Each structure stands twice: as C-alpha cells, then as structure tokens.
Amino acid sequence: MKHITIILYGKVQSVSFRAATKAIANQLSITGLIKNEKDGTVYIEAEGDKFSLDFLVDWCKTGPDRAIVEKVEVTEGELKNYLNFEVVKKHSI
C-alpha cells in the first residue's frame, strides 16, 4: 500500500472529473478523496497498490471526455488509511 497526492491542472472542473475518478477508484479498490479547489485545480489523495495507483495516474492524464488536462503533479506521502473513496463537495478554505 502506498499514498499519493495528485493535483490536476487545466479544464478539470465541471466536466464530471470527480464522479468519473470515484468510479475508477472504486473499480481499482483505491481509497482516498477527490475535491475541487478554488484555484480551478482538482486535488486527489489516493491509497492503494502500485499497479492501481499507476493506472489511476495514467487515467488522470486524460480524464473524462470533456476534460482538458494540462498538467498532473504526483507526490508520495504517508498512509492515512482511508476506508473508501470520497467525493468532497465543498471547496477547501
């Protein structure tokens, strides 16, 4: 198990990115969260095995049909032991 943080730049809000990512994460047994940020980025924390996380990162490079992903930043972090993958509805403060 490992933990990664992904930040997505481009046209990544209002294109069903969060819902589509949750569906992919659930299929891959990835836990964590996804949320829109006020600066227009999408923020993801994901935990799972290396293969599943690599697949998620590759998928994020294109995302759902209406998304235009310009940049993907990935950093590793400490496990937080999420129980599921959650879509956070409100912007971060």
Q: Which residues contact 93 (CB under 8 A, 6 or more apart)?
A: none
Task: Decide if 58 is inside a domain.
Answer: yes
Residue range(s) defining the domain that contains residue 58: 2-88
DSSP letter (8 states) at residue 92: P
Task: Decide if 63 is inside a domain.
Answer: yes
**8 A C-beta contact, residue 47 and residue 3:** yes
Express each pLDDT in 17-54 by its tens digit: 999 999 999 999 999 999 999 999 999 999 999 999 99
Average pLDDT of the chain to the nearest whole number: 96
% residues pLDDT > 90 (the chain) = 95
In this predicted structure, the answer to whether residue 93 has a pLDDT above a threshold of 90 is: no
Q: Decide if 66 is catalytic.
A: no
Task: Decide if 93 is inside a domain.
Answer: no
For tokens 């006020």, what's the residue? 38
* 57 sits in which H/E element: helix 50-60
- Choose the catalytic residue: 36, 66, 81, 84: 36
- Residue 32 sits in a domain whose CATH number is 3.30.70.100
pTM of the model: 0.95
Task: Decide if 82 is inside a domain.
Answer: yes
Of the pLDDT bands very low, low, confident and very high (cuts 50, 70, 90), residue 90 is confident
Of the pLDDT bands very low, low, confident and very high (cuts 50, 70, 90), residue 91 is low
- Choose the catalytic residue: 18, 26, 81, 84: 18
Q: Decide if 18 is catalytic.
A: yes
The domain total for the chain is: 1
